[in-house]
Structure 1
Amino acid sequence: MKSVLITPEGIQKNLKNIKPLDAICEYIWNGFDAFATQVEVELHRNKMGLINMITIRDNGCGINYDELKYKFQPFNDSKKANVSQKTNHTLPHGRKGIGRLTFFAFSQTARWDTVYRKDGDTYEYYISMNKDSLNQYDDNGEKLPCKVEKLTGTKVSFTQLESMEKEDIINKIKEEFFWFLELNKENDYKIIVDKECIDYSDFVEHTENMDVSKYGCKEMYDVRFVQWKQKLGNEYSRIYYLGSDNKERYKETTKLNKRADHFFHSVYIKSSYFDDFHFTNEEIEGQGDLFPNKCDDEYKILINGINTFLIKYRSRYLKEASDIVAQLSRQKSKIFIMN
């Protein structure tokens, strides 16, 4: 058994507010952090029809055995968090190094069966932990990983569960990931629960392809605007910049977040213009005019055009919403008078 560098007091402090459904989402995020494009959730049931085991399987890069001590021993210290904060990308999503222990909130045991690639070969091993001894983990029974002919990826199995319902699990996954799945639509990202893909189409209020050339843009852009029916979980309404390979390069909030008008939206911009774009001052520093950046007139024209579109769309949306409220109010008044 190997020890995690944490005290019981540290566990209680960091995990006391973790909710079961949030914890399940953490393990799905872990799959995407490992470069997965597909995460499968399977809900196993006992003879009484109750969910007694959950497995979450991804097609990511697996957990390299040589890096295990850096991923499982330090607690509340995650390299993923530092990278995410510095680059302002959605991935990696991990925060504070606690994601691997959140099974504490809904399960007695967790076991990772992982396959990773090293020097052209693939290797397999397992890690297991128990809720009652979160400061220890079983490292493949102290044996070295064995060489296998398998695809890379990780399967996490949870047993001895708190009571949960399938409908609640699916709804939570949809609420957590709908904007992220839309962001990676062209990359064919999927979350599958019991053989069925998560469908978030009922969360979409309106979608529209924006023509930014009319604002004076010279580069070619594929701009997709989506208005959502509900809040984007913990995510703000943002603009996402993607390169020609459909990979996210950067994201930033729109100017219409701090409004109590339920105008939840996302803007996804894809262009080769962003393939070598430098978004931050740190990237621009010392590079002069070698790479496109936010000081470019082209970028300023693009953003001004998008902001113009958003402001006009929001104004129209608020007017329509106001008219609907007024109409309903008049109908209620008529009913009240008739009664």
Structure 2
Amino acid sequence: MSEKVNITSKGIQKVLKNYNERQAIAEYIWNGFDANADTINIDYVANELGRLDSLKIADNGYGINFEHLQQKFDPFFESEKAIQIVAPKHTSKMHGRNGVGRLTFFTFAHNAAWRTTYQDEKGFHRGMIQINTGGLNSYEAAEEAITETQTGTVVTFTNLRISEIDFEQGVVPFLINEFCWFIELNKHKEIQVIVNGKALDFSANIKSKEEFELLYADTGFRFKIKYVHWKEGLHKELSKYYFLAGGEEIYKDYTTLNKKSDDYFHSVYIDSDFFRDFDFKSFENEGQVALFGAAKSAPEYRFLIKELNEYLKNKRKPFLKEYADRLIDTLEQDGILPGYATERERDVSKLKLTGLIKVLYEVEPKLFSSLSIDQKKMLVRLLGLSLKTGDKQDIFNLISEIIQPDEDEEKDLRVSLEFGVLSLES
């Protein structure tokens, strides 16, 4: 059986131009998890020159039903508009998008072959699907004799354009950061990714982890919390709350500290019976009430989010102080900090200025990450001038106009300025 998809092979490569070999290999792993696999085996063999001769990715999921082949391998695109690789917004299930990821092998190999075993009401079936880079818009599929009664899929890639070093030093670390949050989310399922017989250590990206409980005394609902602070970013997943009931994910959403441009990467997993009949969407329109179960307007939910937001802010503070010190070192190395005529001026004025910069960074890290060197230099000179000529209220007003703090940040800012930076003697 031979089938063609809607656009040309070159057109498909153009559509999928946002993928590289690391993202492509991750997509095959996502395909396995989407098929309810709990184990992904990646096996490769390198030749004497250090190039990969073969690469296999196997999963023990439910396989590829040949009745659904067209929807699995035909992306259904009428145009050649490039796809943005975006993670699901409110659920971690079904990460793949209609088989698009299955065609990304062209980024690292010339040929791909799927040998799959699936089960339907008639029993077990086995088949082979083959595609090559020159013909991404067509695939060859054939059913084979059954030799086993265990569902799953093995994808074999040949004529590879990736080295062993690239795989070990590039792909493997990428996979750890790509899936570490997902592994924590499904810890009770004991899912794993095994590379050449050795399970990947996803804890390598964990900076710190804490587990605790929150109790809403009025109704007795308990919330089991697992907080993870990651060393490096989670790619498209970003920092999120995961709401679970009995270990199963119900919903996920961004934390209030997501996208703060401060490299504070974190995940918070919240497990409670409270979420079994929870309506996460009813509160999107003020005044709308959930017909069944609780909603975001419930006092338990308000209590939970308030406690967690405060918890994250407290966890973030020492992290920001550490990075604020690094920022000062960077500003000094880049020649952004001003020079001082006397040792006395350097000791006091520089101390005040760097203290003010740290305060600004701790409230709004994005302020410095979004500026060019010349813009940073202008801002730092303006802050230095304000320290020389302005009073405390003028300085506070200037900073407030620059960063527009919320109520809590405004309080912290006043305290930091009043009893910190501006309390130093001139």
Q: TM-score, normalised by structure 2?
A: 0.68
Report deviation, 1:97: 4.2
Report deviation, 1:324: 7.8
Aligned to 1:206: 208
How far apart are the structure 1 equivalents of 2:284 and 2:316? 33
For 1:182-201, list aligned pairs within 5 A: 182-201=184-203
Cα distance change of structure 1 residues 218 and 64 upon mapping to structure 2, 3 Å threshold:
same
How far apart are the structure 2 equivalents of 1:129 and 1:211? 51
In 1, are the aligned partners of 2:57 and 2:155 still within 8 Å (CA)? Answer: yes
In 2, are the aligned partners of 1:215 and 1:305 still within 8 Å (CA)? Answer: no
Task: Give the number of the structure whose alpha-carbon radius of gyration is greater.
Answer: 2
Aligned to 1:313: 315
How far apart are the structure 2 equivalents of 1:37 and 1:45? 27
In 2, are the aligned partners of 1:34 and 1:62 still within 8 Å (CA)? Answer: yes
How far apart are the structure 1 equivalents of 2:126 and 2:283? 40
How far apart are the structure 2 equivalents of 1:197 and 1:216? 44
How far apart are the structure 2 equivalents of 1:265 and 1:217? 29
Cα distance change of structure 1 residues 264 and 217 upon mapping to structure 2, 3 Å threshold:
farther
Report deviation, 1:265: 0.6
In 2, are the aligned partners of 1:225 and 1:266 still within 8 Å (CA)? Answer: yes
How far apart are the structure 2 equivalents of 1:235 and 1:219? 29
The match for 2:294 among 280, 289, 292 is 292
Alignment coverage as a number of residue pairs: 321
AA at the equivalent of 1:201: S
In 2, are the aligned partners of 1:122 and 1:148 still within 8 Å (CA)? Answer: no
Please state if 1:258 is matched with 2:270.
Answer: no
Which structure 2 residue ranges, 5 or more long, are not aligned?
79-83, 333-426
Aligned to 1:42: 43
Structure 1 range deviating more: 191-200 or 280-289: 280-289
How far apart are the structure 1 equivalents of 2:283 and 2:153? 35
The match for 2:242 among 236, 240, 260 is 240
Cα distance change of structure 1 residues 326 and 130 upon mapping to structure 2, 3 Å threshold:
closer
In 2, are the aligned partners of 1:40 and 1:193 still within 8 Å (CA)? Answer: yes
Aligned to 1:95: 97
Report deviation, 1:63: 0.6
Structure 1 range deviating more: 192-201 or 207-216: 207-216
Structure 1 range deviating more: 279-288 or 13-22: 279-288
In 2, are the aligned partners of 1:76 and 1:97 still within 8 Å (CA)? Answer: no
Cα distance change of structure 1 residues 329 and 138 upon mapping to structure 2, 3 Å threshold:
closer
AA at the equivalent of 2:261: A
Report deviation, 1:75: 3.5
Residue 222 of structure 2: SS of its match in structure 1?
Answer: coil
Residue 215 of structure 2: SS of its match in structure 1?
Answer: helix
RMSD of aligned C-alpha atoms? Answer: 3.1
Report deviation, 1:322: 4.3
* Identical columns (%): 37
In 1, are the aligned partners of 2:282 and 2:289 still within 8 Å (CA)? Answer: no
Aligned to 1:56: 57
Report deviation, 1:46: 3.2
Aligned to 1:303: 305
How far apart are the structure 1 equivalents of 2:288 and 2:314? 38
Report deviation, 1:320: 4.9
Report deviation, 1:288: 4.3
AA at the equivalent of 1:211: E
AA at the equivalent of 1:55: K
Residue 42 of structure 2: SS of its match in structure 1?
Answer: strand
The match for 1:125 among 120, 124, 127 is 127
How far apart are the structure 2 equivalents of 1:214 and 1:318? 30
Structure 1 range deviating more: 1-10 or 313-322: 313-322
In 2, are the aligned partners of 1:217 and 1:302 still within 8 Å (CA)? Answer: no
Cα distance change of structure 1 residues 304 and 200 upon mapping to structure 2, 3 Å threshold:
same
How far apart are the structure 1 equivalents of 2:206 and 2:9? 43
Residue 170 of structure 1: SS of its match in structure 2?
Answer: helix
Report deviation, 1:326: 7.6
In 1, are the aligned partners of 2:22 and 2:174 still within 8 Å (CA)? Answer: yes
In 2, are the aligned partners of 1:76 and 1:98 still within 8 Å (CA)? Answer: no
AA at the equivalent of 1:192: I
Cα distance change of structure 1 residues 327 and 213 upon mapping to structure 2, 3 Å threshold:
farther
Structure 1 range deviating more: 95-104 or 50-59: 95-104
How far apart are the structure 2 equivalents of 1:9 and 1:157? 22
Give CA-to-partner distance per residue, 1:144-168, whole Å, 9 cap, x none: 4544432111100000000322312
In 1, are the aligned partners of 2:6 and 2:77 still within 8 Å (CA)? Answer: no
Residue 212 of structure 1: SS of its match in structure 2?
Answer: strand
Cα distance change of structure 1 residues 215 and 327 upon mapping to structure 2, 3 Å threshold:
farther
The structure showing larger relative contact order (alpha-carbon pairs under 8 Å, at least 6 residues apart) is 1
Aligned to 1:149: 148
In 1, are the aligned partners of 2:277 and 2:292 still within 8 Å (CA)? Answer: no
How far apart are the structure 1 equivalents of 2:123 and 2:68? 16
Give CA-to-partner distance per residue, 1:48-95, whole Å, 9 cap, x none: 553111100001110111111221134449xxx9xx85x721121113
Aligned to 1:16: 17
Which has the larger helix fraction? 2
Aligned to 1:337: none
Q: TM-score, normalised by structure 1?
A: 0.85
How far apart are the structure 1 equivalents of 2:47 and 2:324? 51
